[in-house]
Chain A
C-alpha cells in the first residue's frame, strides 16, 4: 500500500543520486553520513509535508520559511525574555506557526484572495514580525531541555530525525486513510464536487493552512534548538526547497493528488543533493541554483507525462 502511492520516477532519481554520490565521494556511503542527511532533511521535510497537504488541495503556501523563522523567535522570546519553561517554548513555536497559517486560511477563504498572493504577503509579514520581535538580533542561550529537541541523540539517532519520521508516519495515514485526507484530495481535484457533496470547503482549507503553519512552527522549533538561537533569518528560502520536495514526491501542482511517503522521498532527494554537493565542496551559490532548477525540471517532466496520458 506504501508502494502504490510512490511515484516510480522519484525512486529512480533517488537510486541514481545515491549511486552517483557514492562513486564521487568515499564519505557518502556510511551510516553516520546517512543520519546526517536525514538530520539535514528533517526541517525541510516537515515543511514539505505541510506543503503536500496544501498543494494537493490545489492551494499553495509560500510563507512556510518565514513562518518557521517567526515561530523560532517566538519560542525563544517566550523562554528567554518571558522566562517560561521549555514546554511553553515548544507550544509557542507551534502555536505561532498555527496562527500565521490560520490567517492565511482566513484570507484565502473569506477574503477570497488567491493563495499565491496571501502567502507571498505572509512571507513578508512573518519575516518582518520575526525581526521586530527580537529587534533583528538572534536570541542566544536556550535551556538544555529545549536543546535536546534538536541536538539530543537517543540511541544514537538525532532527535529531529525521530520527530520527522513520526510526523511523516502520522501524516501519511491522515492523508491516505482518513476522511480529512480524502476530502483534502477531493477539494484539490474538483472543488465544486466537494461543495456539492456537502464538504465544508472553506473550513477545511483554513484547517489545512493552519496545519501547514503549525508544521512550519515545529520545523522552527527544531531549527532553533539545533542552532541554540531564535534566529529571525531562519528558514530563508526554505519554501523553495519544501515545495520542490513535495512536487518531486508526486504531489499534483494543480491539486487532487499527493502522498506523504512520496514527499518523504522527495525531501530525501533534496537532502542528498545538498549533502552530496557539500561533500564535493560545491559552492553554496550553485546549490541554490540546483534546487531551483530541480523544481522547474520536476514540473516539466510531470507535464510531459500528463500530456502523454
Chain B
C-alpha cells in the first residue's frame, strides 16, 4: 500500500470537466513532479487532496484513510500541507499570524481556555522558523502584504513546514524567486526527502523538476498522460507529453 493513493478521481465545475479519472500513487519520502500546460488541472487536483474542492467522484487515501469526506483542517492535522499558487496569505495580518494561520497556539488565563492567542510564542517560533529557512524579513510583526514577492513566498513555505507535515504540496513555489532563492527551495525539497517527507512539486520550470524529482507525472486536459521515472526519461520527452505530441 502506498502512502498516498488517488483512485479514479474526476472533477467538474458545472459542465466543465477539469479532471478525468485521475489515478496515481505516491510512496513515502519520494519527490514527485507534476507538470502540464496552463489549465491542465494541476492546482485543482491538489486542492482536492487538501480538501478545498470536493471531487465529483473517486477517492483519495492517505495511509489508508479516506480524505475526500473530511475537512481541510482535519486533512492538515493528518499532515498534508500545501503552498498555494497564489500563496493564500492574509495581506493585512502580520507575518507570524500568517505562519500560524488556523493553528494559533492558545494560552490559558487563570487556568481557563478562553481561546486567547499566545502571540509571544507565535512571534518567537516564527523568528526561528524563518531563520532556519535562511530567509530575512524586517520583523515578524510586519504586514505580510508589505513584503516582497519572494519574502511572501518564504512565509508561505514556512507555514507549510511548521507543523511537521508528512506530505508537502508545492504549487509553483519558485515563481517569484531569484536564482539563489530558487536553489534554496530545491535544496529544501531534498532535505525534506531525506527526512522521509514526501513532496509534490508543481512547476513549469522543467530544469527544477529534473533536478529534484524522482518521478514525473504529466497532466493533460485533466488526464494523467505520463507517469515516468526521471532516470528513464528526458526533458524533450516530457515536453512532448505536455503538448500532446506523444
Q: Give chain A's interface residues, CB within 8 Å of chain B.
A: 173, 177-180, 182-183, 185-186, 189-190, 192-200, 252, 256-257
Kindly state whether residue B52 has any CB partner on chain A within 8 Å.
yes
Shortest C-beta distance, B199 to chain A (Å), equals: 18
List 18 A-B pairs, Cβ < 8 Å: A177-B116, A178-B117, A179-B104, A179-B106, A185-B90, A186-B90, A186-B97, A190-B90, A193-B89, A193-B101, A194-B102, A196-B52, A196-B84, A197-B72, A197-B76, A198-B74, A256-B90, A257-B92
In the assembled complex, which residues on chain A have CB atoms less than 8 Å from the CB atom of B88? 190, 192-193, 196-197
Residues from chain B with Cβ under 8 Å of A192 in the complex: 86, 88
Bound complex: CA of A193 vs CA of B86, how far in Å? 9
A199 contacts B73, C-beta separation under 8 Å: yes
Pick the residue among A173, A178, A179, A186 that contacts B93 (CB under 8 A). Answer: A186
CB contacts (< 8 Å) of B50 on chain A: these are 196
Question: Total contacts A to B, CB within 8 angstroms?
Answer: 77
Name the interface size band of chain B.
Answer: 20 to 34
| Complex Cα–Cα for A302 and B158 (A) | 33
Q: Mark B90-115, 1 if CB is under 8 A from A, else 0.
A: 11110001000111101000000011
- The residue of chain A having its C-beta at the shortest distance from the C-beta of B106 within the complex is A179
| Complex Cα gap A268–B114 (Å) | 29
For the complex, is B82 an interface residue (Cβ under 8 Å from A)?
Answer: yes
Name the distance in Å between A61's Cβ and chain B's nearest Cβ.
21
Q: CB-CB < 8 A to B106: which residues of A?
A: 179
In the bound complex, how far is the Cα of B117 from the Cα of A200, in angstroms?
18
In the bound complex, how far is the Cα of B92 from the Cα of A189, in angstroms?
A: 6
B119 to A, closest residue via Cβ: A177
Residues of B within 8 A of A257 (CB): 92
List B contacts of A177 (CB < 8 A): 116-117, 119
For the complex, give the distance between the alpha carbons of A198 and B71 in Å.
7
Contacts A177-B117, A178-B117, A179-B115; A196 near B92 (Cβ below 8 A): no
Q: Which residues of B contact A173 (CB under 8 A)?
A: 116
Contacts of B72 on A, CB cut-off 8 Å?
195-198
Docked CA distance A190–B86 (Å): 11
- With both chains docked as a complex, state the minimum distance between the C-beta of A65 and any C-beta of chain B, in angstroms: 29
- Complex-state Cα separation, A16 to B91, whole angstroms: 33
With A195-B52, A196-B84 already in contact, the answer to whether A185 and B92 are too (CB < 8 A) is yes
Q: How far is the CA of A182 from the CA of B89 in the complex (A)?
A: 13
Whole-angstrom CA separation of A179 from B97 in the bound complex = 10
What 10 A-B pairs come out closest when comparing CB atoms?
A198-B73, A197-B102, A193-B88, A189-B90, A256-B92, A198-B72, A196-B88, A178-B115, A197-B101, A186-B90
Q: Which of B2-57 contact A (CB under 8 A)?
A: 50-52
Q: Is the CB of A182 within 8 A of B117?
A: yes
- Chain A residues with CB under 8 A of B92: 185, 189, 252, 256-257
Residues of A within 8 A of B102 (CB): 183, 194, 197-199
CA of A178 to CA of B104, assembled, Å: 9
